[in-house]
Amino acid sequence: MGDMIFGILTWLPGLILAITLHEAAHGYVASALGDQTARLLGRVTLNPIRHVDPFGTLVLPGLLFLVGAPFLFGWAKPVPVDYRNLRHPKRDMAWVALAGPGMNIFLAVVSAAALHGALLLPDPAADWLITTLQKSVLINCVLAVFNMIPVPPLDGGRVLVGILPMRAAVVVARMERVGMLALIGVIFLLPLALSQFGVDFDPFSRIIGPVVRALLGAVYTTAGIPLF
């Protein structure tokens, strides 16, 4: 029981901040580029409570943790953006999309840098804080990489729409409604189904995993944390 409580208390802070501040960053950049939709709804704020989705931010990650899932997955309430209010709608939507993963990379570097101070604390506070910060780095790197997959409605898909010529951008944008379902199917459900027949198919570990590890290395190096 003690290990479970320790696990929850070390995973939850980084997960909530990573997911909610990701959305806050979208709102801040959209506001700066001309769309005040999120600001009028009170979503241009660093207060995590304004961005928490009860199921996606708390219940689902909690259930995955309790069943011992190999990954934690969740989401916050999406920040509404009306591209028609942006000064340069096509280009600016790409910047709005980049803000979320950019925030996650920033949080990862800050968490890694904070390890310098955590190492100076006495036990058991040091143990809790070091573990929490390490998990925060991991969570933010995974979210940054996952969200940059170039499939709408993920941020990478919206960046792709912003940089492609108009005709190609329209084709990619039409994937918005089915893109997330397709990703969940390919990355999570299909491997689970194939494993029942003894087929090892894990695109998350084989494709996304190496990119996450590379980003982790870059984050720790930037923060001045030696890698062993």
| β strands within 63-188, DSSP E | none
DSSP letter for 46, please.
Answer: S
> Which residues neighbour 112 within 8 Å (Cβ) at sequence distance 6 or greater?
133, 137, 219, 220, 222, 223, 225
Angle, helix 2-32 to helix 89-118, in steps of 10 degrees: 140
- Compute the distance between CA of residue 5 and CA of residue 84 in angstroms, rounded to an integer: 46
CA-closest candidate to residue 50, choices 60, 59, 40: 40
User: Which residues are designated catalytic?
Assistant: 23
- Compute the distance between CA of residue 190 and CA of residue 44 in angstroms, rounded to an integer: 37
In order of 2, 47, 143, the CA distances from 162 in angstroms are 48, 29, 21
Strand, helix or coil at 182?
A: helix
Place of tokens 């309430």: 77
Residue 69: other Cβ atoms inside 10 A: 12
